[in-house]
Amino acid sequence: MKKFAFIFHPLDLGYIHRQFPWTRVLPDSALKAALRALPPGVISRITGIGSARAEAEGWFINVPLTADQMLSLPEEIVIKKIVRAGRLAEQLGAQVLGLGAFTAIVGDAGTEVAKQLHIPVTTGNSYTVGMALAGIRLAAKKMCIDLKKAEVLVVGANGAIGSACSRILAREVNYLTVASRNDRRLEGLARRILRESGLAVRIAADLKSALTQADIVISVTGSATPVIEPQDLKPGAVVCDVARPRDVSQEVAKARPDVLVIEGGVVRVPGAVDFGFDFGFPPGTSYACMAETMILALEGRQDSFTLGRNLSVEQIDEIMQLGNKHGFELAGLRSFDRAVRENEIKAIRKQAEFSGSSRRFS
């Protein structure tokens, strides 16, 4: 039996309020101080992961800090807490450790944490990229959008996931725009893409205006609050929101029946997995970053797989192949925590036509 652990954290205080309603009476500052003082702990035991070739089980470990705290506290405090969680994983017997949400962002995307632990560490970002792109290809097909003719926009393109998505998409699309806050780094990315795939990508001068022109959006910023609002999107657009916390405001679900917003990287796990904890997904499915940790455990990999911000295309291809080998697959399309049905996609297309979309249908 192979063993792994996966670290996550409460995305915001709302999450704590929902789990422990009595905390609503506390001022935010007191609740944040309490979280800061709490040590990491085991949330649940994960059992029943089984491919035709191997079996695995593991643990979810909580690092009690919100996304906002991970960004605002001194980095050494955050890293120290993640390393404590990693040591707990080692004591439990985990052979590989996955870093979830913002624990995968701090310390040069897992590099600092991995240096201080004795077991291999992964951010899970390689499989996240592969599965987000698989989701976008499927959603575009269902919405009859030809990727070659579409205006494609990557938001958060300077990040680990965003830059890898941009570089791979550049091999498949003709019109690619990249957006992030740091223009100098975007220029470096644009030069790299031109070198690698010959595509001249555009750099968004203004995020909001780039969004109104995009047929396909992948959004994967490290922002603690939404960056995409209902009025920003083109009718008929497909948006893949990979970020956690979400980049796409919940308001979009109510106000824009003419766009398809999908979650990035929802994966079906082989076997009869029981996570022992409800993180909002249907039974038997997980985030892609969790799935990467499980795949590496099933493979018995002895090395840290995805660390740092410079993901390689080969690495992404390799984890996709390993995922296939063990029976992991894309679990259809999900939008704002629920499955997207075929008739809903038809309704979105109809509504987009009605809204006078100027999209290019294939």
Ligand X SMILES: NC(=O)c1ccc[n+]([C@@H]2O[C@H](COP(=O)([O-])OP(=O)(O)OC[C@H]3O[C@@H](n4cnc5c(N)ncnc54)[C@H](OP(=O)(O)O)[C@@H]3O)[C@@H](O)[C@H]2O)c1
The residue ranges that bind ligand X (CB under 6 A) are 101-102, 104-105, 109, 124-125, 128, 156, 158-162, 180-182, 185, 220-223, 227, 242-244, 264-265, 287-289, 309
**Mutual angle of helices 313-325 and 125-142, in 10-degree steps:** 80
Computed from CA positions of residues 12, 15, 16, 21, in that sequence, does the dihedral angle turn out positive or negative?
positive
Is-contact 224 91, C-beta < 8 A?
A: no
Which residues are bridge partners to 286 per DSSP? 267
Q: Determine the residue with CB nearest ligand X.
A: 159
Q: What is the closest distance, in whole angstroms, from the C-beta atom of residue 295 to ligand X in the complex?
A: 13
> Could you tell me the smallest distance in angstroms from the CB atom of residue 47 to ligand X?
21
Classify residue 311 by burial, with Cβ atoms within 10 Å: 0-12, 13-18, 19+.
buried
For residue 96, the minimal CB distance to ligand X (Å) is: 16
Instruction: Please work out, in degrees rounded to the nearest 5, the angle formed at the alpha carbon of residue 233 by the alpha carbons of 160 and 71.
Output: 35
Contacts of 233 (CB under 8 A, 6+ apart): 211, 212, 214, 217, 239, 252, 256, 259
| Least distance to ligand X, CB of residue 178, Å | 10
Q: Which is nearer to ligand X, 40 or 110 (CB)?
A: 110
Residue among 290 and 352 whose Cβ is closer to ligand X: 290
Which CB, 51 or 122, lies closer to ligand X?
122
CB-nearer residue toward ligand X: 281 or 359: 281
Nearer to ligand X, 125 or 357 (CB): 125
150 within 8 A of 140, measured Cβ to Cβ: yes
Q: Closest CB to ligand X among 161 and 169?
A: 161
In the complex, the smallest distance separating the C-beta of residue 336 from ligand X, rounded to whole angstroms, is 14
Q: How far is the CB of 98 from ligand X (least distance, A)?
A: 10
